[in-house]
Chains A and B, each alone.
Chain A
Amino acid sequence: MQEASALTYTDFKSNQSVKWCPGCGDHAILNSVQKAMAELGYSQEEVAVISGIGCSSRFPYYMNAYGFHTIHGRASAVATGVKIANPELKVWQITGDGDALAIGGNHFIHAVRRNIDLNIILFNNQIYGLTKGQYSPTSKKGFVSKTSPFGTIENPFRPGELTIGARGHFFARTIDKELKLTVEVLKEAAKFSGASVVEVLQNCVIYNDRTHEVLTEKGFKEERTIVLRHGQPMLFGKDNDKGLMLDGLNLKVVKLGDNGITEKDILVHDAMNPDPSLHLKLANMEYPDYPVAMGVIRAVPYATYNAELVEQIEAVQAKSKIKSFKDLVFSGDVWEVK
């Protein structure tokens, strides 16, 4: 194979003009996905991009790949069918907080539970954009929108908590503006065999502008977020002088040097620990009490549904006497009329 034949990110761009609002976070995510696919060495024809309905779900139209823009909430179910039918395909599901967690919540949790080998990219802007500004299942309690003029009275879902609660084996978080981190996380998700959920904190410039800005503000983002990497100590801060420790059953933010704390006292991230307790705590950290966790929070290898199905079929085929339609219809009680 010649190295020169490798595709670049522009090879994954379709001929359709991108119609998201100027300044929408989706543009950056599209670029990150295309870059990740090129770096992963994908070929265009092996990629199937499946989406539901919503702003983010227009995504497949902009990809030079096989794409299916389906119906609201059902992307996980369609993607499941694609992957089971042809496990060779790289199946990426593009979805939003409404599509995946409201109308499609049921399909989402079951795709995760079954560990279908999908890359589920969940754009979380905490708002319904395509219908012009209603609250979503991830909007913070009290959020004022067109359908909650006096503030919402419901608790939001936390996608990481929901994923882990649905027995998910992979959860990562990134933010639209951080292209480098996003590409890194997307590649990890793609390499993970199983349902990989990547929550991308995404900005809706029109209806919920700057909702994640506190996490990206220049000079502060290092203090307000922590990038987790497997095997590395949980350190953060501009000077990398803050860290996470366990205090009883809870996480605690500490400063190196205080009370004699050294790097040795800081937790080391183990994304591969099957016990989800610590992953759940990390995924649930919210600013300002904690830094918000970015990167791969959980990545525990586990058998996928699609692979086990193929194995089961092969095992049954090896044993069964029924090899064809004819064998089937002649098995059991058959009599001849002469």
Chain B
Amino acid sequence: MYLTMMQKTKVIEREEVVVRFSGDSGDGMQLTGSLFSNTSAVYGNDISTFPDFPSEIRAPQGTIGGVSGFQVHIGSGDVHTPGDQTDVLVAMNPAALKANGKFMKPGGILIVDIDSFDEKSIVKAGYQTEDPLAEEHLGDYYVIKVPITSLTKESLKEMGLDAKSILRSKNMFALGLVCWLFNRPLEYTQTYIRNKFAKKPQIVDANLKVLQDGYDYGMILEAVTPSYHIQPADIEKGFYRNLNGNTAVAWGFIAAAEKSGLELFLGSYPITPATEILQELSGRKDLGVKVFQAEDEIAGICSALGASFAGRLALTTTSGPGFALKAEAIGLAVMAELPLVIVDVQRGGPSTGLPTKTEQSDLFQALYGRNGESPAVVIVASTPVNCFDYAYMAAKIAVEHMTPVILLTDGFLANGTQPWRIPDLSEFPAIVPPLVHQKKDGWYAYARDAESLVRGWAVPGTPGLQHRIGGLEKDYFTGALSHDGPNHQKMVDTREAKVQKIADSLPPLEILGNEDADLLVIGWGGTFGHLHTAVARLNEQGYRVAQAHFHYINPMPLNTYEVLKRYKKIVVCELNLGQLAGYLRMKFPDIQYAQFNKVQGLPFTSAELVDNFKKMLED
């Protein structure tokens, strides 16, 4: 129903709420969403965010292809996902409504800039009739029609700004209004504006005014619309900041460099959605990070491998297509037994695929995408903030075991943010590279530790330890070139055993939810939050469901088989056609695995998972 002037103001307490900002990709929706998220996080809520934007930098204005969205889930309890459906949708134009109407929760609030709903824009968005609001069947929603564009113009008419700058401020009006709706203070955004435009006082004044006017407009609405309040969450004490997955990856390596005493080197080439890691580390010259923006993906990894040979903590970052180009050099790292971390921020594939959308379809590429028997460690982050922890672990394993480590994240984690409790470096395990400083009798470049099978790292510049390494097979003892068959067998077996031995130091696979369950839900990577929410919801409803989530895929935790065999029903859930399921079938063939898969460039929704698991439990 549409609002009438008869309703009275009230403040409703909510435990959680999902808000989605949407507009043209030039409307500043990502910034608006981030500012609202940060405001809420600073207020003490737990949050999780999901930016959803097109790969075109500026797709034609007003079209569905150009719609940019930013969703945030705010809660007074733990928040694991950005939310399936949105309680509040802000649509700055008809295309935004068309693209996002389907994400609305019945009974939710829709805020539209009614000025933008002119005939031309309505047609452009692909609506069939002149009344898109009716066409969306929004009978069950509060629809707040606000003339945002004209109110912004009105607000700034005395400021002497050009028309373009005025229109650019309308996102602040929307933000002000949403802040009113959720009883959020404006200070955070005000400080941001003052800092961001410190050198343009006119723009500062304009944005602050529009923001306040948007907030005040809510006061006018007060008569007609309830507002909401979400209590601060009960979270661990400490210092917090918001962090997205890509920055978390970058910082994880900075932490590992400081902890290990090794200089950090990144060789990389820009690629969506991994570029932010390259950008973040490029700005970290203050911490001595050496970043080389290479001429291509291959040079990115090869320069990193050169830096590794020279004794540095070496890293390359990419996404699926770039990862494919790096395959040969990863093989060289396997063969030369040099430490190297390859970060693959997965996106929709194959080929160029869906650059800005998320997917988990590079697992097989990470495990097998090389010639020869070429074992690499594969580890996976599962939340935006634990990208930090797994980046750190990737670095630790790479240098301590002289092996390439592939760290998989995905577009969902990369761009999603969560509040991060700032850790002290003392909370993290030491990183001890197997550096060799002096020649001892019987030292050869490939002489190994008997237990871990790890060779020593003799870095160029060290007197007396000159040696040659390369991609050709070498003798097990002397490291000299060897084409001998039995020796090759021994080397292949040794390289594989070296990687498998890493499992000895990995944490066991944990069982979450109800251990004594009728169904075990298995996942890996960025699907954790949605799976966890679905499992928790089912257990609340009296079902018995357990969850096991993989972070270490090669090697796997030692107790993996033991966990799997405890459950009669197992479902492996992935944003691909079943790559982990296939891998588990190969490793543990006597176990039956059901699958739940989705490849739509989007995360699972907890609701679809709940429905599916219920069906499985009832079968």
Contact = CB atoms under 8 A, between A and B. Distances in A.
Q: Do A and B come from one complex?
A: yes
Interface of A: 14, 16, 43-48, 50, 53, 60-61, 63-71, 74, 76-86, 88-89, 106-107, 110, 309, 312-313, 316-317, 320, 322-326, 328-330, 332-338
A47 B467 CA distance: 11
A313 B302 contact: no
Contacts of B306: 50, 68, 77-85
Given A48-B310, A326-B425, A337-B44, A70 B471 contact: yes
A86 B309 CA distance: 10
Contacts of A53: 471
A110 B269 CA distance: 14
Interface string B444-480: 0000000000000000111111111111100000001
Contact of B285 (A83, A89, A312): A312
B299 A80 contact: yes
B453 to A, nearest CB: 22
Closest 5 CB pairs of A and B: A81-B306, A69-B470, A81-B303, A320-B286, A77-B302
A333 B303 contact: no
Given A106-B299, A325-B255, A334 B239 contact: yes
Given A107-B302, A335-B240, 16 more contacts: A47-B466, A69-B468, A69-B471, A80-B302, A83-B306, A84-B306, A85-B310, A85-B312, A106-B296, A110-B294, A320-B286, A325-B251, A325-B258, A326-B425, A329-B251, A334-B240
B258 A81 contact: no
16 contacts: A45-B462, A45-B465, A48-B310, A53-B471, A66-B460, A69-B471, A70-B305, A80-B306, A84-B307, A85-B307, A86-B311, A106-B299, A325-B255, A328-B284, A334-B240, A337-B237
Contacts of B303: 77-78, 80-81, 84
Contacts of B235: 337
A74 B290 contact: no
A325 B188 CA distance: 25
B162 interface: no
A325 B290 contact: no
Contacts of B480: 16
Contact of A316 (B286, B295, B312, B314): B286
Interface residues of B, number: 67
A1 to B, nearest CB: 15
Interface stretch (B25-33, B62-70, B328-336, B581-589): B328-336
State the majority secondary structure of interface residues on B. Answer: mixed
A223 B237 CA distance: 84
B267 interface: yes
State the majority secondary structure of interface residues on A. Answer: mixed
B211 interface: no
B307 A81 contact: yes
B71 interface: no
A45 B464 contact: yes
Contacts of A60: 468, 470
Contacts of B295: 77, 106-107, 110
B109 interface: no
A334 B468 contact: no
B463 to A, nearest CB: 5
Contact of B299 (A48, A77, A336): A77
B305 A81 contact: yes
Given A45-B461, A68-B469, A323-B286, A328 B254 contact: yes
B336 to A, nearest CB: 7
Interface string B248-291: 00010011001000010101000000000000000011111010
Contact of A86 (B239, B302, B310, B466): B310
Nearest to A43: B463
Contact of A71 (B290, B304, B328, B462): B328
B292 A332 contact: no
A89 B242 contact: no
A84 B304 CA distance: 10
Contacts of A110: 294-295, 299
B460 A89 contact: yes
A275 B236 CA distance: 65
Contact of B466 (A16, A64, A333): A64
A317 B288 contact: yes
A14 B462 CA distance: 17
B435 to A, nearest CB: 14
A312 B290 CA distance: 10
Given A61-B468, A70-B332, A84 B237 contact: no
A313 B290 contact: yes
